[in-house]
Amino acid sequence: MQAPAQDPRVTTGEPTRSRTWRWTAVTGVALLLLVTIHMVAHHFVVEAVGGLRTYQHVLDYIANPVIFVLESIFLVVVTIHAMLGLRSVLFDFGLSDRHKQLVSKGLVALGVVTVAYGFVLIGVLASRA
């Protein structure tokens, strides 16, 4: 009797479907809360057309420590969710294992750059308040 083939993802270190799905779901549910806070705080309590803040309003808003932490968490969670989603879409193209690994590594790098740039943006703006 032939031994069952080992899942190649175990050896390549690629996350299994269930692990990826769980992370996507957890970050997605967290985003429901974070997006709601972000949208309401940014656009629905501001009495201006389009709910957009003036330059000074943005600086004051982002310099608030609670908002600063919430926006930072939002940045990290939304980036993780976006990269996992992109990964799923790209995997739909029926990539080989080698290309899947390349895509995964590329998306990790893109995610790190995105979060780093976001932190620079938030940090610079908060320091100007």
12 binding other proteins? (CB under 8 A): no
97 binding other proteins? (CB under 8 A): no
Q: How far out from the chain centre does Cα 38 lie?
A: 14
52 binding other proteins? (CB under 8 A): yes
**Percent helix, strand and coil across the chain, each to the nearest 5:** 80, 0, 20
Compare residues 97 and 102 and give the one whose CB is closer to other proteins.
97
Asked if 35 contacts 75 with a C-beta cutoff of 8 angstroms, the reply is no
DSSP three-state, residue 1: coil
Question: Which residues contact other proteins (rule: CB under 8 A)?
Answer: 17-18, 20-21, 25, 28-29, 31-32, 35, 39, 43-44, 46-52, 54-56, 58, 78-79, 82, 85-86, 88-89, 91-94, 114, 117-118, 121, 124-125
